[in-house]
A = this chain, B = another copy of it.
Amino acid sequence: MGTLFLIPNTLGETALSGVIPSEVMRRIASLRVFASENPKNTRRYLKQIDGTLPLDEFTFLEVNEHSTPRDIEACLPYLASGDVGVISEAGCPGIADPGAELVALAHRHGYRVVPLVGPSSILLALIASGFNGQAFSFNGYLPVKSNERTRALKNYERQSALENRTQLFIETPYRNLKLLEEMLRTLHPDTLLSIACDLTTPGESVRTLPVREWKRQPLPDLHKRPAIFLFYVPQPNHRPK
């Protein structure tokens, strides 16, 4: 019986040696069957890892948002006869892609699942924010409609204050600036807001400031840059002197 390996990808243009452990690269290069959203991108990634891999002999299974449960089950015979790697388009598989369904299926059929270490923009943004890491929530996208979004932001802010919890969000990159403007309009001036942008790539920046300070300066250029938004309501007894 094979093992399902969860394979990390880079978060953008960057040297592999900075984000993928060497033993993980060797493991990836030892596999012959890969499931991913875009086999063409997966081939390019494998070439980067080892230019001598005989990619024409490899099997590439497509698993995307349109895959039916039956499509995903089509991966099972490959697991029955050997190891399979599941790769995300960026970062760790199973966070914002259909990889999680394949993992769930593997568990239901008793296959071993092994996660390999690599970059996660959510985790890197969390630790770089300086916010509480002992209670945090990744909430994905906020509602699109303005009034629902405002209400959701206020609810998440209240929860942060009550539970001493860090709140994390993503946005479609071309809407980043709009989200930032709404956060600055809606959140309390004392709430701390962190923006982590282009993580692990040359343009990386992580900035944490109270909302009131963000409002005083020119807004950062976030347009079409992959970003994580985090906020945290500082607790009275943890507030700096």
Query: What is the interface of chain A, defined by CB distance below 8 A to chain B?
Result: 6, 15-24, 69, 92-96, 99-108, 112-115, 117-120, 122-140, 165, 194, 199-200, 204, 206-209, 240-241
Do residues A94 and B136 form an inter-chain contact, with CB atoms below 8 A?
A: no
Min CB–CB distance A169 → chain B (angstroms): 11
Do residues A100 and B130 form an inter-chain contact, with CB atoms below 8 A?
A: yes
Do residues B135 and A140 form an inter-chain contact, with CB atoms below 8 A?
A: yes
Do residues B200 and A133 form an inter-chain contact, with CB atoms below 8 A?
A: no
Do residues B107 and A208 form an inter-chain contact, with CB atoms below 8 A?
A: yes
| Option from B93, B105, B107, B120 in Cβ contact (under 8 Å) with A207 | B107
Do residues B133 and A115 form an inter-chain contact, with CB atoms below 8 A?
A: no
With contact pairs A21-B19, A136-B137 given, residues A131 and B240 touching in the complex (Cβ less than 8 Å): no
| Option from B96, B124, B194 in Cβ contact (under 8 Å) with A133 | B96
Q: In the bound complex, how far is the Cα of B131 from the Cα of A6, in angstroms?
A: 14
With contact pairs A118-B117, A133-B100, A241-B69 given, residues A95 and B127 touching in the complex (Cβ less than 8 Å): yes
Min CB–CB distance A168 → chain B (angstroms): 10
Which interface residue of A69, A125, A136, A204 has the most chain B CB atoms within 10 A? A136
For the complex of A and B, list the 9 residue pairs with the smallest distance between their C-beta atoms, beginning with the closest: A104-B130, A103-B130, A95-B133, A18-B23, A107-B208, A94-B127, A115-B128, A17-B23, A115-B124
| Option from B96, B105, B136, B200 in Cβ contact (under 8 Å) with A138 | B136
Chain B residues lying within 8 Å of A130, measured Cβ to Cβ, are 94, 100-107, 113
With contact pairs A21-B21, A115-B199 given, residues A140 and B134 touching in the complex (Cβ less than 8 Å): yes
Chain B residues lying within 8 Å of A125, measured Cβ to Cβ, are 115
Closest to A232 in B: B104
Min CB–CB distance A14 → chain B (angstroms): 9
Closest to A26 in B: B17
Do residues A69 and B240 form an inter-chain contact, with CB atoms below 8 A?
A: yes
